Structure 1
Amino acid sequence: MEITWLGHACFQLRGKQVTLVTDPFTPQQGSSLGKISASIVTISHDHPGHNNSAAIGGNPRVVRSPGEYEVSDVLITGIASYHDNKRGQERGRNTIYVIHMDGLVICHLGDLGHTLQEEQLEEVADADILLIPIGGQSTIHATQAAEVISQVEPRIVIPMHYNSALEESAGALNKFCREMGVEPPAPQPKFVVTPGTLPVETQIVLLTPRS
């Protein structure tokens, strides 16, 4: 599988036969999705930075709520969560997605606003790859992100929802790496992984946003 970060919470997961895009954003100044096609699009919540499914070509199946789905041999479980730590009173609901694809289990946390509750953790505990927000403000911050990682214990962690070009967000990345006890690894344009190449210990992978 080839994983590309398109920016914000948007990833392209390109498998052997299926391409899936998470949380396509509405283009803003300096950022654009470009021309992308997919078989499946997941939407974690109905905000402009996450719900631009119309921008994705290929007439994809759009998944936008909790539940169990099977699309083109890809199994997807949507798990109810919140966009804040007050049970959605401030920013509403958020859907976590667990995606079974090409022998890998990928968990996209969307704009998660709290650490995982027991029933959510049961659903995501098998995740090999965790796509996790670290920027704070409208999501969990670096310290909470490190706590979620210790809850899930994935093999690969890919931070999202921060902007390395902005000083404040770059600071969030540095703080996250300190919380994890590692030096920031060199960013790469894409990450290629198979079940056989998963590391034994949790590894942080930084991707350069394509947008």
Structure 2
Amino acid sequence: MQSIRFSLLFLPFVLLLSGLLPALAQETAKPASQCQMIAQALPEVVFARFALPAAELAQAQADGTVRITYIGHSTFFIETPGGIRIATDYNGWYKPPSLPTVVTMNKAHSNHYTLSPQPGIEHVLHGWRDDGAPADHDVVAGDAYIRNVPTDIRSWGGAMEENGNSIFIFEIAGLCIGHLGHLHHELTEKQYAEIGRLDILMVPVDGGLTMGAESMSRVVERLRSALILPMHRRGPPIDRFLTMFDEDFDVSFADTASVEVSIRSLPRRPTILVLKGV
């Protein structure tokens, strides 16, 4: 009799929870990443993702072509098949050809962000948080899904600032596109696992303002992207970065600042493509 009375008393809480859990799941759910993988080196770490209808629609079109244009410094302009426009490391100085739908920023230096973005930009994504906690973005904009992996940065005094920057990842038309931002350190196994597969990699090649060419080349070799787009070249010539790679990597120099890529047109061998203006 006592157990029946306890069950009846407990029933309202069960019903309450059963009503709350679906709503809670909707609030905390994140889009499903097609590019993120579980690192076998970390068998106890499981990166859980929950699919939302919007995310499924955003990543459903794998037949389209993505256009990537180098604007300057570390700013690329990404145009999706569905008409979404994304500017990386947007600082307001290097103007994209049209108003971006989404801009991403990193805090390392003033030429990687602006606190006064152009009006009309729908999503302004900072790679840092003012309270020092890791930035956490999971944004679906049209046919693009954008997420980030936080990294540390080196301050002007030389000390490392935890979670000061982010690697932004754009999942578009079946492609996994990663922008390393102002990367100041080699990545951890956990960060590699959170990044997952990258088909296209935007990498700083300044040789020291971010990381030395040798350290940066190790990151590039580990990620093993099909298409590597250098950026952020200040100081040493591009050849210094290119000499870090052996015959397993092809090198090509474009006569324009833009490239159009689809999942079917990716090069079969890892290729470093130097766009005009780098």
The TM-score range, normalised by the shorter chain, is 0.7 to 0.9
Match of 1:119 among 168, 176, 190: 190
Is 2:101 the counterpart of 1:20?
no
Render the CA deviation track for 1:73-131: whole Å, top value 9, x for unaligned. 3211111101239xx82466111111101221100010001111111101223110000
Match of 1:156 among 227, 244, 247: 227
Is 2:154 the counterpart of 1:84?
yes
2:62 matched residue in structure 1: none
Q: Structure 1 residue 184: deviation in Å?
A: 5.3
Q: Secondary structure at the match of 1:205?
A: strand
Q: What is the root-mean-square deviation of aligned Cα atoms in Å?
A: 2.4
Is 2:251 the counterpart of 1:147?
no
Structure 1 183/98 Cα, relative in aligned 2: closer, same or farther at 3 Å? Answer: closer
Higher radius of gyration, 1 or 2: 2
1:9 aligned partner, one-letter code: S
Q: Distance in 1 between matches of 2:207 and 2:161?
A: 13
Unaligned stretches of 5+ in structure 2? 1-65, 128-134
Could you tell me the TM-score, scaled by structure 1's length?
0.83
Q: Structure 1 residue 183: deviation in Å?
A: 7.6
Q: Structure 1 residue 16: deviation in Å?
A: 1.2
Q: Structure 1 residue 186: deviation in Å?
A: 2.0
Q: Secondary structure at the match of 1:96?
A: strand
Is 2:227–2:266's contact at 8 Å kept on the other side of the alignment?
Answer: yes
Q: Secondary structure at the match of 2:194?
A: helix
Q: Within 5 Å, which residues of 2 pair with 1:1-211?
A: 1-17=66-82, 18-27=84-93, 32-33=94-95, 36-45=98-107, 47-52=109-114, 54=116, 56=118, 58-65=120-127, 66-67=135-136, 68-84=138-154, 89-90=159-160, 93-163=164-234, 168-170=235-237, 173-181=238-246, 185-187=252-254, 188-209=256-277
Is 1:53–1:62's contact at 8 Å kept on the other side of the alignment?
Answer: no
Query: How many corresponding residue pairs?
Result: 198
Render the CA deviation track for 1:21-43: whole Å, top value 9, x for unaligned. 1012353xxxx426531111111
Q: Distance in 2 between matches of 1:183 and 1:199?
A: 9
Q: Structure 1 residue 209: deviation in Å?
A: 2.9
Q: Secondary structure at the match of 1:105?
A: strand
Q: Distance in 2 between matches of 1:122 and 1:89?
A: 26
Is 2:229–2:272's contact at 8 Å kept on the other side of the alignment?
Answer: yes
Structure 1 73/35 Cα, relative in aligned 2: closer, same or farther at 3 Å? Answer: closer
Q: Which moved more, 1:38-47 or 1:96-105?
A: 38-47
Q: Which moved more, 1:113-122 or 1:68-77?
A: 68-77
Q: Percent identity among equivalent residues? A: 24
Q: Distance in 1 between matches of 2:186 and 2:231?
A: 16
Q: Secondary structure at the match of 1:169?
A: coil
Q: Distance in 1 between matches of 2:118 and 2:260?
A: 22
Structure 1 34/204 Cα, relative in aligned 2: closer, same or farther at 3 Å? Answer: closer
